[in-house]
Amino acid sequence: MNNGAASLGKDMLRVVLAAMLSGLLCAGCSGGSNSSGDNEASDGGVPDPFISQVSDFAGFCKWSSAPAIAPADAGGDGIHGDAGLTVYWNKSPPHGATQFPVGTIILKETNDPDPSKRTVFAMAKRTARGEGYNSAASGGADGWEWWSVTDLGNCNVERLWRGVSPMSSEPYAGQTIGDCNGCHTHAAGNDYVWSTALELSHF
């Protein structure tokens, strides 16, 4: 009787342990499925929202780049400077994309030989379109955050301001063409990006 009880106890222990192990394995599988997902914002492990930092601009001069030429000459309005411009981007969109991936940073600057005299602006894709940040409904460039930076001359930058609009003290804040949003909403068909090299149809 004692031997039978002991044997029954061992069998029950095996069943309980097997059930626990099965549960843990299933939970691990479930967690993996949910964490990977198929949301564009999580592509490449980039968090959504993507809160860009100054450190994300490190080494920008080694990113993909091209002369900043835009339809309707968006660079010739004097806001981005009157000299030639170069545009840099940290990642390219996948072929057939209708918007730039969350985590994209695009930097545009003048080509003055002295980096300290360059006019430098950037835009960072914080969220996918329709998620509320700088929304099109409020007249914004949906999903994008604007940056104004100083080129430190060593492939790094220093932040001047960032946000959905420039500070009111900036000379370009009251332009007829509008601020960053006012201009870039005219390029809404290309996910608010002005640059021939960065037309989504080219990728």
Are both 101 and 179 inside the same structural domain?
yes
Integer angstrom CA distances of residue 168 from 54, 76, 192: 22, 22, 22
In a shared domain, residues 18 and 92: no
Number of structural domains, the chain? 2
Does residue 104 contact residue 126 with C-beta atoms inside 8 Å?
A: no
Dist CA 103 CA 85 (whole Å): 23
Same-domain pairing of 133 and 192: yes
Same domain, 29 and 51: no
Q: 98 and 127: one domain?
A: yes
Can you tell me the distance from the alpha carbon of 140 to that of 186, in angstroms, rounded to the nearest whole number?
Answer: 11
Residues 190, 97: contact at Cβ < 8 Å?
no
Calculated CA dihedral for residues 36, 37, 43, 44, nearest 10 degrees: 10
Distance, CA of 47 to CA of 42 (rounded, Å): 6
Verify that 88 and 105 share a domain, yes or no: yes
Domain range for 25 is 2-37
Query: How many angstroms separate the Cα of 98 from the Cα of each of 40, 51, 127, 190?
Result: 11, 22, 14, 8
Residues 77 and 147 in one domain: yes
Q: Looking at the structure, tell me whether residues 89 and 151 fall in a common domain.
A: yes
Question: Residue 179 has what pLDDT?
Answer: 81
Q: Are residues 152 and 176 in the same domain?
A: yes
Q: How far apart are CA 111 and CA 128, in angstroms?
A: 31
Tens-binned pLDDT, residue by residue, of the chain (203 aa): 455 544 445 554 454 444 443 433 333 333 322 222 233 434 556 777 999 999 999 999 999 999 988 665 444 444 555 558 999 999 999 999 999 999 999 999 999 999 999 999 999 999 999 999 999 999 999 999 999 999 999 999 999 999 998 877 665 555 555 688 988 999 999 999 999 999 999 99
| Continuous segment of H or E residues that includes residue 121 | strand 120-125
